[in-house]
Each structure stands twice: as C-alpha cells, then as structure tokens.
C-alpha cells in the first residue's frame, strides 16, 4: 500500500497537504521589518537563557552524554566548548534553553523557542546558512507551533496530559529544519508525518530534570525527522487528519479549529499576540505569586514579622507544592514563589537553587504559607489572577491582588531596555563581557550576517571548555 492510500478522516481530508502548501508559500516571502525585529528578540532571549541554562546540572549531564556518543563535530553546543552532530547539539541546546524555565511564553501556553532555535542554529552552522535563513526558518517553526496551539483551544493546562512543547515542538522543529533546507511540499509532509510519531511528554515530569528534555528531545527528533525526509524517508503524509493521527492523539478532534491552523501567517503569532518574555526563571503561573509577593514585600519592613500568608489562586494542582524537594521543583510551587519574594524582595536564578531552597529561613517560612485554590478564579493564563494576604505579628495585614506580571497579556510589555538587562545578566553567567556584547550586537543585526558571520557567532556562543 502506498503512502498516498493510507486512510484519512473524510471531514479533514487534505489538511496536512493544505498547511504544508501554505508553509512553503509563506516561507518564500520576505519577512516584514516588524516580524524580523520580533524574531531577533526571541532568538536573543533564547540564546541568553540557553547560555545561563548550561550552569544547570541537567544540560551538563546531557552534554557529557552527547560527547560520549562521538557525533560528527559540526554544530556548537552553547557555552560548553565543543561541537557535535546537529541532532545531538539540538538536544543539548534545547534542554539548556528550557531548563531554567526562563524562556519566552506564548498563548495558548507553550514554549516555541527551545524546540526551534537549536535546530536552525545547528543546521545554519553545519550547512553554511545565513542569518536571514535562520530568521525565516525560526519564524516558520514558531508559527506552526503557535497555530497548532491556537487551533487546540487549550488555554488551561490543568486538564492537559502532555506538556505542549513536547507535542507541537517536535512539529515546529521539523518545519524549521525543512524550511532552512529548502524542502518542497511533499518532503515537508513526510517530515511532519515522521515528527508526529515522536511527539509526547508527560506533565507528571514537571519539576524534575526530565522536563527540559521535553524541549530538547522535540528539537532533536523534529530535526532528525526532517533530515530523514530529506533522504527520502516516508511517513503518513496526511498525519494531522489521519484516524489515530496527530489531532486524534493530542487534541479534541471535535473542537480542533482547522481554520485557525490554516490562517498560518495571517497574522504571524510572533506579532499577535506576540511572545511574553519572562522576567523570573520559573513556571509562568507562579509569576503572579512572585509579583504579588514582591508588591507586598514593599510594605513590610522586616519579613521576620510575617506571621502567616494566604495565597488564593486558580486550581492548578501541578504548581501546588508546599515543600519542594529541590530548588528546581521550587520553580513549580506557588508556595515557594511567594515565600522567595517575601523573604528576599527579589527573585532571580539564585532563588531556585538547592542552597536557597534549604536555607533555615526558607525552611521555617514555607509552613506559614497556606495555598487556597478555587474554581471561582479562571484558570486561563489570559484571565487569571491571584490574591495574597499577609498577616504580621503586629496584627496588621497586607493584601495584594495580582492580575498579571509585566509582559502578560493586557499588562505593560517588558521594554527593550529591561529585556536587554535580562539578556546581559544571563550571558554574564558564562561569557566574558566583551564576548557577550559582541554576541548581542551580531544577533541584533542577524539578517545581515553571511554564513561566515554565523559561524563566528556560534564560536562566540560556544564559550568555555566543558570540564
């Protein structure tokens, strides 16, 4: 039986072909100045948090594992001083970009940078592509992820079993890789068909090292699918609409919005709604708790006077963790988020280390935090809020409501200058100041870089030798 005769669902027949034709046509068009600027900023954010992410043990283990595999050294691993094969580099760099939970957020919720950026960087470096090629392929990989998430209608994660980047990210990686390699429509259909069989990732692993592999694996397997398709490897070319296919497996087929998917590029999701750049390195819903805690802390002279804390949130059981088992798990704890904000008056990368998690003041403070989750507060990131009430030993009470952190939809955007401070802080974890500034300058004119410039950029981002 040929691939073309594989059974498809009549109601959606032709959907995969249609979206691949749209992707291919859109990829031939020049990016607008606005879209170029949005993509550049997203890439700069991803590279910066990826460099900082290599200070974490999970990407270091993955890097050691990649080195042991002996891949052909053509693609740079961020900040760790070695090259490996494109697929292995994509895996490690995807983990590094995601591990701090500091990469940009999207709506409906997913992370598009970590499954996509490592792919286009690995191929650009190994196949002599330009900065303009990187931008256009990155936009394509992000757009398909955004469109799949929009079509899914999954704005609340409480009932979602699969971590979204591990589902749509592998398709985004395959699309980005196919585009940068100049794939036609039929090759793209088979790349997506193969990538779809690699999709997955369980929410139950949130809070562990395994979570960052959802993005790294999506990048690696999507890239691998595209490379196989380029060699003639075949899959179901109608995988989106096929019975027991991608839509059936991961979404509600009855509510999946085909038209939202087919509106690909009109407008690009990088422009509307745009990415939300995180200013705290933690799961996004906890940013409401951090923001409320920081606001309350301004009104409290001494956190030692805090008698009790009550935090009221939507029902989000996966971030109800009263006693995180590590600093990493603290990233997924409403309780820890508000405790760190109230105790320290600032929240950054160091807030989520084991050293901070198990300091005496945190150990004694966490039992004071009572979390109340209620269905009376909407669980959609777009519309949620949290309420914080802090009782002091003086009998006074500080009450704060947070409708969203900076950058969340409907809230003031993070300015370019604020974002640049984040980028510089992240790069400073690994790169000398002069190297970091050279990297920033090059990314901010990425569309002008030729293939040689791209190789120099990756050499700078390669950083120090892995010890």
pLDDT tens for each residue of 50-101: 999 999 999 999 999 999 999 999 999 999 999 999 999 999 999 999 999 9
* Class level of CATH domain 286-402: alpha beta
pLDDT over threshold 80, residue 315? yes
382's CB contacts (< 8 A; 6+ apart) are: 107, 155, 409, 410
**CATH class, 3-274 region:** mainly alpha
pTM across the whole model: 0.94
pLDDT digits (tens, 9 = 90+) for 58-69: 999 999 999 999
Q: Are 310 and 372 in contact (CB under 8 A)?
A: yes
- Report yes or no: 140 and 23 within 8 Å, Cβ to Cβ: yes
The string of pLDDT tens digits covering residues 345-383 is 999 999 999 999 999 999 999 999 999 999 999 988 888
157 has a pLDDT exceeding 90 = no
State the pLDDT at residue 159. 76
Express each pLDDT in 406-423 by its tens digit: 888 778 889 999 999 999
Q: Which residues touch 226 (CB under 8 Å, ≥6 apart)? A: 173, 174, 177, 178, 181, 183, 191, 195
| Residue 288 near residue 404, CB atoms below 8 Å | yes
- Separation CA 388–CA 395 (nearest Å): 16
All structural domains of the chain with their residue ranges: 3-274, 286-402
Q: Nearest 5°: phi and psi at 466?
A: -70, 125
The b-or-e profile of 150-175 (16+ CB within 10 A means b, else e) is bbbebbbbeebebbbbbbbbbbbbbb
Q: Residue 1: what pLDDT? A: 34
């Amino acid at each position: 039986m040929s691939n073309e005769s594989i059974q498809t669902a009549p109601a959606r027949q032709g959907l995969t072909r249609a979206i691949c034709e749209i992707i291919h046509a859109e990829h031939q068009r020049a990016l607008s100045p606005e879209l170029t600027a949005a993509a550049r900023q997203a890439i700069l954010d991803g590279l910066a948090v990826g460099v900082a992410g290599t200070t974490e043990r999970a990407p270091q283990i993955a890097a050691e594992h990649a080195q042991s595999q002996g891949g052909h050294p053509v693609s740079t691993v961020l900040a760790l001083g070695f090259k490996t094969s494109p697929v292995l580099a994509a895996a490690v760099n995807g983990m590094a970009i995601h591990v701090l939970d500091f990469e940009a957020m999207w709506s409906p919720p997913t992370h598009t940078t970590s499954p996509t950026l490592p792919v286009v960087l690995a191929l650009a470096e190994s196949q002599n592509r330009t900065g303009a090629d990187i931008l256009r392929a990155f936009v394509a990989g992000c757009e398909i992820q955004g469109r799949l998430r929009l079509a899914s209608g999954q704005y609340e994660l409480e009932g979602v079993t699969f971590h979204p980047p591990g589902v749509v990210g592998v398709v985004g990686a395959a699309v980005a890789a196919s585009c940068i390699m100049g794939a036609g429509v039929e090759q793209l259909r088979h790349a997506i068909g193969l990538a779809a069989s690699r999709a997955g990732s369980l929410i139950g692993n949130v809070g562990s090292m395994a979570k960052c592999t959802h993005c790294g694996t999506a990048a690696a397997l999507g890239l691998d699918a595209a490379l196989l398709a380029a060699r003639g490897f075949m899959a179901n070319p109608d995988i989106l609409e096929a019975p027991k296919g991608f839509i059936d497996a991961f979404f509600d087929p009855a509510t999946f919005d085909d038209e939202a998917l087919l509106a690909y590029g009109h407008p690009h999701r990088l422009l509307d709604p745009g990415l939300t750049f995180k200013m705290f390195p933690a799961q996004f819903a906890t940013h409401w708790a951090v923001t409320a805690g920081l606001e309350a802390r301004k009104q409290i002279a001494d956190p030692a006077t805090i008698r009790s804390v009550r935090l009221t949130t939507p029902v989000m059981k996966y971030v109800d963790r009263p006693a995180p088992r590590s600093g990493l798990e603290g990233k997924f704890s409403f309780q820890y988020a508000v405790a760190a904000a109230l105790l320290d008056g600032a929240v950054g990368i160091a807030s989520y280390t084991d050293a901070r998690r198990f300091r005496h003041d945190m150990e004694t403070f966490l039992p004071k935090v009572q979390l109340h989750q209620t269905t009376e507060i909407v669980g959609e990131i777009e519309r949620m809020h949290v309420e914080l009430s802090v009782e002091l030993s003086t009998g006074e009470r500080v009450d704060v409501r947070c409708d969203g952190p900076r950058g969340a939809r409907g809230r003031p955007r993070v300015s370019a200058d604020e974002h640049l401070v984040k980028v510089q802080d992240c790069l400073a974890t690994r790169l000398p100041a002069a190297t970091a500034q050279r990297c920033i300058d090059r990314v901010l004119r990425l569309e002008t870089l030729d293939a040689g410039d791209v190789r120099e950029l990756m050499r700078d981002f390669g950083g120090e030798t892995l010890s």
